[in-house]
Amino acid sequence: MIDNPRILLIGADGQVGWELRRTLAPVGQVIAASLAGQDGPAVDLTDAASLRRLFNETAPDVVINAAAYTAVDKAESEPELAQAINGDALGIIAELCEAPRVPVIHYSTDFVFSGVTDHPYREDDPAEPKSVYGRTKLAGERALLESAAPALVFRTAWVYGVRGSNFLLTMLNLFRERSELRIVEDQIGTPTWSRMLAEVTAQISYRLLHGDLDIEQVKGLYHVTAGGATSWYGFAEAIREATGSDCRLNPIPTSEYPAPAQRPAYSVLDTGHFRRTFGLALPDWRHSLALCLADLRAFR
């Protein structure tokens, strides 16, 4: 057991990082690092020296990396920058955590899969990313998992919350501005609340730091999303119904909404390995959406 453990949170200003700052507060001393460095140390994931300096100056007992290059379409024209942040930086983090055996928790994505399937993906299914974003996130996974660092990699999907740029906030804004919207209905996945991700991460971090979990026994790759599945159209319809909007929604195929980056048509993730290993429940996406909307009303 570590008294007042030091938790280095990288990407503290993102939508998952912001939630982590709240859920990790009872676990230990949260060192909130971000590119801007407004509420803690500054760190540039494209600069190995910056990462090494951050690690040496903070001497963390656990590292949680919630930072990523997430501009999926823009990554197609900025592959080097996406690779530096999503891939190369994880190699440096792995190197820094390996010798002192500092546990590191990192988030990856459903975009590592092609989406050409009809069953929920398991951790051992082949990764076949079809976008720069997916390829760079897969590179980051491998940098950690193929190293000797004590790492947990959590693949998640369709993340939304009360901050940042995400589908929920986009829909709420569009509902106020427009009377009719066209929404893709042939991409299937699982909307996942950033708060839920932060809560399970905090619980696992507490158990690691207080000796209830041995990182050497549980390290590896896990799928972590809410329960259930829907389409973007189904997600939008649930938001519309919950908020009482009278905006009309029209379902369309992906072919009518072209984008630079190819999306997986089906990217539901099987979370059984995570639930069995850690004994944590992952609520249905509809339940999480209701809680998030209630939180959003209070937040605003």
Amino acid at 71: A
Active-site position among 69, 133, 160, 266:
133
Q: DSSP string covering 149-199, please?
A: S-EEEEEE-SEE-SSSS-HHHHHHHHHHH-SEEEEE-S-EE--EEHHHHHH
Q: For the chain, how big is the Rg over CA atoms in Å? A: 19
Amino acid at 232: W
Question: 186 with 118: CB under 8 angstroms?
Answer: no
- Identify whether 133 is a catalytic site residue: yes
Amino acid at 22: R
Q: What is the β-pairing status of strands 230-231 and 188-189?
A: antiparallel
DSSP secondary structure letter of residue 254: G
How distant is the alpha carbon of residue 244 from its chain centre? Answer: 29
Residue with tokens 């001497």: 59
Cβ atoms < 10 Å from Cβ of 203:
17
Amino acid at 279: G
Cβ atoms < 10 Å from Cβ of 116:
10
What is d(CA 48, CA 270) in angstroms, rounded to the nearest whole number? 34
Q: Which two tokens stand for residue 252?
A: 């369309």
Question: 58 with 31: CB under 8 angstroms?
Answer: yes
Question: 150 with 94: CB under 8 angstroms?
Answer: no
Catalytic residues: 133
